[in-house]
Amino acid sequence: MKSITFNLRKVNQLLISMSFAVCMLVFLGIASIIGTILKQNEPYENYIIKFGQFWFGYFEKIGLYDVYHSVWFLIILLFLVISTTLCITKNTPTMLKDFLLFKDTLEEKSLKAFTHHLTLQNKRKINLSRIIQYLKHEKYKTKEKLKESGDILIVAKKGNYQRLGYILTHLGVVVICLGGLLDGNLVFKAQEMLGYKKIETLDIPASKVSEVSRLHINNASFRANMTLAEGASDNVAFVRMKDGYLVQELPFKVALTDFRILHYSTGMPKSFESDLVISDTDLSQDIKTTISVNHPFTYKGITIYQSDFQDGGTKLNIELISLLASKASQKIEGKIFEKVKLDKDQLTYEFNDFRKFNILHLKEGQKEKPRNVGPSVTYKIRNNSGQAREFISYQYAMPIDDRSFFVSGMRETPQEEFRYLKIPADNQGSIEGFMVFKSALQNKALIETISKDMANQSIDHDQEGVMKESFENSINKLMTLFAQGGFSNIAESIDKNIPASDKEKAIQTYLKIIDIASVELYKKQLKVSNIKFDQSSVMFIQDALNAYSDMFFYGSPYFFELTDYEQKEASGLQITKSPGQFWVYLGSLSLVLGIFSMIYLHERKLWLLIKSSGRVILAFSSNRKNLDFEREYKKVSGEISKIIQ
């Protein structure tokens, strides 16, 4: 029994020690830094991309992706609460007693033991009322005591509210930690450990989520998200947890009637707000309110914040332009978050996002301001085996290096950067000029005609025959190779057939022939299309050759052209129930007041013993002896000396 008592005493001493509390505060500070630097409650895919599979698993085990709700963080808060509470319990009675008590039992010997004391010899009758009046003028509280020996002791003190600062500071820490524990999902963690609740990991509608993954309408605290398209309503929100989510039931229904967003002249978002309607059976009529960033709405202890915005299912009109074959383009209609299957091509288009504004810096390293390049669509193209590539296509041609290009990017995985196909726009700002050029390159009969014409122009009449035919075949073969695979086909052919010493010369010759043949092809095709060839067409052909070559690495047989859209926006709402918020604010106020009291309030105590023999002993004390204390001691002792003498 004695050993148990001894161990409990040691544990108690550890808990109330300053070093233990400081350690807990240090751990809390480190955890808060991690929670601030590392974005919390992101989808696990984002963390895998950022840290890799190995470190992702390690960080997940120690709860770094949801620091403020992790078990170890809550344990730190709990120990800090226990430690600080024990300190308050132990020291508060003594401090309150000292706060109220005037120490009027000190004798002459004790007063002379003070570092700051002074002995005066009285020459005339002492005016006690004048001394007390002076001390009160200096904000001292005073008390007089007549001793049995006839001596008079005056006790004065001020600034003793500083002792309350200790209590307020420690109390503030306790209240803040308790507020954090209230918002720490302790109930859910207990239910999860006991098997009553489980995180849902499947991407299914909220209505199909089982009861084991739903949180009750009376859940004490939560931080959930809801996305509402214009005209939609819902009474559930989603709480992101680890690699899944929970469905939080709400005691009311939220409807979005209108979402508005204002933009700067550059196209960047300036402000956005949502018009909401709150429906509840407890209400005689619905509540209509508008929320915006930093202006939330609270009902039944649940606060609705405007957090972000996204697409709500924009309708898209699309033209798929064939790139690798001479096929007619086809028109399809899509909708964001929905799929369109092309049965003939065995491809599925999955539309993920639409952005009306895209702010890009088109000239790196130069001082040109970022500009809005117009709408874009992000989508995936999935083949019949289930493999998908992600694409982003911009509606309008954008200026790059003083020329205009239709831009579309592709990447194999989310970890990669987009690789862009840049198709030059023609003089009318359309993609039609490139399609005319592409058709010319893929027209075998036209290539043969151009090859023959170039051979006739290059070979003299005296050299006709085998040489002319050989040159014609070479041009035909070269242009056919390019038409079938771009510059990579040409490079492969050179590597196989040309000696290393002649490669550089061959490359220059082949490129020159391709340029000349491409100009002739384009001219002939333009005549068929009744389009005029001019000087700007030469630069256009160079860009078109590069774009044609890049098509073979684009990953799609079609170029995606957004012809029109009907935008539908959605508002991102954050819905929170935070009973600990009030206590955190209250604790913070207590902490500030406590720290203010301890730093800016200076405790002073003064004893004035007037002996019946005529001697006067003055003693001065403070819990913090600094320059201010020294100045006040000199001032007060000097004034009292003048009054007495």
341 bridge partner residues: 348
Q: Is residue 76 over pLDDT 80?
A: yes
Please state, in angstroms and rounded to a whole number, the distance separating the CA atoms of residues 400 and 422: 10
- Specify which of 132-141, 259-268, 528-537 reaches the highest per-range mean pLDDT: 132-141
Give a three-class secondary structure readout of 584-604.
Answer: HHHHHHHHHHHHHHHHHCCCE
pLDDT at 464: 58
Residue 183 · residue 578 · CB < 8 Å: yes
Please state, in angstroms and rounded to a whole number, the distance separating the CA atoms of residues 224 and 136: 58
pLDDT at 429: 87
Q: Is residue 461 over pLDDT 60?
A: no
Q: Is residue 364 over pLDDT 80?
A: no
Average pLDDT over residues 462-481: 77
Please state, in angstroms and rounded to a whole number, the distance separating the CA atoms of residues 571 and 306: 8
Residues contacting residue 435 through CB under 8 Å, at least 6 positions apart: 321
User: Whole-number mean pLDDT of the chain?
Assistant: 85
Query: Tokens at residue 623, please?
Result: 């819990």
Q: Is residue 206 over pLDDT 90?
A: no
Alpha-carbon dihedral sign for residues 350, 352, 357, 361 = negative
Pick the CATH number of 102-159+604-644 from 3.30.310.10, 3.40.630.10, 3.40.50.1000, 3.90.1150.10: 3.30.310.10
Higher pLDDT residue, 598 or 423? 423
pLDDT at 362: 66
DSSP 385: T
Query: Tokens at residue 288, please?
Result: 């209509």
Instruction: From 361, 360, 359, 341, select the one nearest 351 (Cα to Cα).
Output: 341
**pLDDT class of 396 with cuts at 50, 70, 90:** very high
Indicate the Cα dihedral angle 525, 528, 530, 531, nearest 10°.
0
**pLDDT class of 504 with cuts at 50, 70, 90:** confident
pLDDT at 586: 92
Please state, in angstroms and rounded to a whole number, the distance separating the CA atoms of residues 465 and 461: 9
Q: Is residue 395 over pLDDT 70?
A: yes
pLDDT at 274: 94
Query: DSSP letters of 565-591?
Result: EE--EEEEEEEEE-THHHHHHHHHHHH
Write the CA distances from 63 to 147, 241, 260, integer angstroms.
Answer: 67, 11, 37
**pLDDT class of 575 with cuts at 50, 70, 90:** very high
Displacement of CA 349 from its chain's centroid (Å): 30
Find the helix or strand (DSSP H, E) in which 423 lies.
strand 419-424
88-113 per-position pLDDT tens digit: 888 888 887 777 778 878 888 888 88
pLDDT at 214: 92
Average pLDDT over residues 410-438: 89
Query: Tokens at residue 268, please?
Result: 């960047």
pLDDT at 271: 85
pLDDT at 5: 59
**pLDDT class of 276 with cuts at 50, 70, 90:** very high
Find the helix or strand (DSSP H, E) in which 373 lies.
none
Residue 548 · residue 486 · CB < 8 Å: yes
Average pLDDT over residues 494-510: 85
Residues contacting residue 348 through CB under 8 Å, at least 6 positions apart: 339, 340, 341, 342, 381, 382, 383
Q: Is residue 530 over pLDDT 60?
A: no
226-268 per-position pLDDT tens digit: 999 988 999 999 998 877 899 999 999 999 999 988 877 666 7
Give me the residue spans of the domains in the chain: 11-97+167-182, 102-159+604-644, 187-312+569-578, 315-419, 436-533
| 209: Cα within 13 Å, side-chain hemisphere | 24
Average pLDDT over residues 171-179: 88
Residues contacting residue 590 through CB under 8 Å, at least 6 positions apart: 168, 169, 171, 172, 175
Instruction: From 471, 476, 485, select the one nearest 514 (Cα to Cα).
Output: 476
Give a three-class secondary structure readout of 15-83.
Answer: HHCHHHHHHHHHHHHHHHHHHHHCCCCCCHHHHHHHHHHHHHHHHHHCCHHHHHHCHHHHHHHHHHHHH
508 φ/ψ angles, rounded to the nearest 5 degrees:
-60, -40
Instruction: From 221, 91, 324, 186, select the one nearest 575 (Cα to Cα).
Output: 221
Helix (H, G, I), strand (E, B) or coil at 208: helix
318 φ/ψ angles, rounded to the nearest 5 degrees:
-130, 145
Query: Tokens at residue 524, please?
Result: 């002939």
Please state, in angstroms and rounded to a whole number, the distance separating the CA atoms of residues 553 and 348: 19
**pLDDT class of 564 with cuts at 50, 70, 90:** very high
Residue 176 · residue 588 · CB < 8 Å: yes
**pLDDT class of 351 with cuts at 50, 70, 90:** very high
Q: Are strands 403-411 and 419-424 parallel, antiparallel or unpaired?
A: antiparallel
314-331 per-position pLDDT tens digit: 999 999 999 887 777 889
Please state, in angstroms and rounded to a whole number, the distance separating the CA atoms of residues 316 and 333: 6
Higher pLDDT residue, 613 or 22? 22
pLDDT at 534: 63
Write the CA distances from 109 to 113, 253, 354, integer angstroms.
Answer: 6, 77, 87
Give me the percent of the chain exceeding a pLDDT of 90: 25
Q: Is residue 51 over pLDDT 80?
A: yes
Per-residue burial over 359-391, b if 16 or more Cβ lie within 10 Å, else e, is beeeeeeeeeeebbbbbbbbbebbeeeeebbbb
Per-residue burial over 421-441, b if 16 or more Cβ lie within 10 Å, else e, is bbbbbbeeeebebbbbbbebb
Average pLDDT over residues 367-378: 82
Q: Is residue 115 over pLDDT 60?
A: yes
- Give the chain's radius of gyration (CA, Å): 41
Residue 260 · residue 271 · CB < 8 Å: no
Residue 610 · residue 638 · CB < 8 Å: no
Give me the percent of the chain exceeding a pLDDT of 70: 94
pLDDT at 533: 61
